[in-house]
Chains A and B, each alone.
Chain A
């Protein structure tokens, strides 16, 4: 087990390096940099900068050096916990990201929880009562959930919020807690606001997971061992929960790692629509204004967190299933 974990952690390193290069290159791709955008904005406002001033600006931001040197500087500082300076905000990236990142993580965690809390019982129920009215209803809702993009769902919920409840659904905090320090009351206030984005982001995942859970449980329910257990007089509920469900849970849990990128993506989009103080809107603005270090650091961190989440789910799975622990790397 220890060897397995070690191997997986070591495998993480090249991936992380690759991700850092990709995140940095993506931001470097568009022609021009923050200074050109900045100068263009100033020019639009009627203020011309001299050649020297532009050069001084580039020097100040370190943009006059070749890309790979900028990358090496950034990544060495990054590893030491310093993510550079945001051009647009003129503040260290660390300070900008900190709280937003935490909120994103909390939201992703609750979303994951929501997905499983909803999907697993519904999936089991749909399988056990196949072709019942409830099964059809859940299947239908599931299809709609799969077909509606997250941000559309957010829009629709906001519309309902305004029309039916006469309240704006955006934001994560009530106005009185917006700038307040963290306290129990603020956390409670946040939780009261968070359920909506969690439901919105989780819907697609829930729909997908219900279908997988239903299908695998149905497969298992038809197996001879179920028949055997039944013939021996095991009660139906006990039987289902004890054997088929446990087998059917395996593929669900093993795909936590795949759900995470989905959920992080979802939170980014929904946060933009609902105007949540998470990483989404910040990343969007950073990309729009070519804020090199902020955008690159954020893509890097989001990817890293996703990778770590995947790693944890893999380790959990290996812990549960000895076939993965000892065997070759999973072939399925």
Chain B
């Protein structure tokens, strides 16, 4: 960049002179190394926030990772080699398959598996899967398999990977199989559809309630404020899990799963809105007396205009942080409720439903891979926390660039 070489030249009207005047973010990022404090005044707060966020490598990486996870959930039927209900009755509790790239003679091959056969261990009398190393079966890509309808629209039957003759030589279970011989990896992707969306839907509900009640509270004050604040204190004083358990148990057992899904979402957002409402109220209170708001008021702006043009944009970044940090709680909540058998139940697939199989210690001791869905929960929650932290640092107007 030539402009970077001459940073202090006042060239406001020259479009090619400096990226800062043009406010083009990609140019800015290129010139990032040369940014000094005097220049950042040309950026809008949003550009500043984005710039700061992109500096936080952990947060950016988490964002990409989550995007990848959501995409995988979207394309779950394509990526998972078998249907979520496909049972391999000969291969119950098949451990995660070893994918080999070296043959026994030491030569390199494309990824392949050996056939597995069941042998009874003569000492422990357990049934173990043993690899039959006589023949290699290469992993194939874009293979035909269980038919499915992608997003309820497209009839398809090919899967990203798989082996031929899976019933005989054993299916490719990357993370092992469960007690019915179903693919844990594939099911975790299907489960992600429920577990990942429940947070989004729940947080949307919480956001609407939080904005409205928090706004009312901050705007009108007095009795309304007092009532809403007492309500919030009341809800927060009840221990979450007993309350959730009680409400979840209150859902009739014969409800269809979709309704249970929304029921749980509402139960989870019942608590989450209180945090958001508090943030919104606090911001309303502190912004009410800011100069720019008073100026707009005296210039004759009506209340709606004031709220949507001045107040909401100025605290939205804070709300965004709280939203991001509220999603993990909801994901954990759903997992916990389903794990307890109070939430979603089989045949619906969610991470919590899958973890229900891991309730028995014995189960975990013998088949530790049934804990894999837990890994999905932890990693997702971790990523969301990193993003939330990144956003919080980025939204801080006093932070250094």
Which residues of A are in contact with B by a Cβ distance under 8 Å?
A: 15, 18-19, 22-23, 26-27, 29-31, 143-144, 146-149, 151-152, 155-156, 158-159, 162-163, 168-170, 258, 260-262, 264-266, 268-269, 272-273, 283-284, 287-288, 295, 298-299, 302-303, 306-307, 310
Contact = CB atoms under 8 A, between A and B. Distances in A.
A151 B245 contact: no
A306 B237 contact: yes
21 contacts: A19-B234, A22-B238, A23-B246, A26-B246, A146-B385, A147-B381, A151-B336, A152-B335, A155-B358, A155-B364, A159-B368, A162-B364, A261-B238, A261-B239, A264-B241, A268-B245, A283-B245, A288-B341, A295-B246, A303-B239, A307-B237
Given A159-B371, A258-B236, A299 B242 contact: yes
Q: Which 8 A-B pairs have the closest CB atoms?
A: A265-B241, A29-B250, A287-B249, A26-B246, A147-B381, A264-B239, A147-B382, A261-B239
B246 A299 contact: yes
Contacts of B35: none
Contact of B238 (A29, A283, A306): A306
Contacts of B336: 149, 151, 269
Nearest to B341: A288
A261 B237 contact: yes
Contacts of A306: 237-239
Contacts of A148: 378, 381
Interface string B133-148: 0000000000000000
Interface string B348-369: 0000000100110100110010
B239 A287 contact: no
A159 B381 CA distance: 22
B237 A303 contact: yes
Given A143-B382, A306-B238, A155 B374 contact: yes
Given A146-B385, A287-B246, A310-B237, 9 more contacts: A29-B250, A260-B239, A262-B240, A264-B241, A264-B242, A272-B340, A288-B249, A299-B243, A303-B242
B342 interface: yes
A265 B237 contact: no
A324 to B, nearest CB: 15
Nearest to B375: A152
A163 B242 contact: no
B234 A15 contact: yes
Contacts of A262: 239-240
A interface, over-half SS: helix
Contacts of A307: 237
A256 to B, nearest CB: 13
B251 interface: yes
Given A143-B385, A144-B382, A152-B374, A287 B240 contact: no
B328 A147 contact: yes
A295 to B, nearest CB: 7
B249 A158 contact: no
Contacts of B234: 15, 18-19
A261 B249 contact: no
B371 A155 contact: yes
A293 to B, nearest CB: 14
A17 to B, nearest CB: 11
A258 B240 CA distance: 11
Contacts of B364: 155, 158-159, 162
Nearest to B381: A147
B254 to A, nearest CB: 9
A22 to B, nearest CB: 7
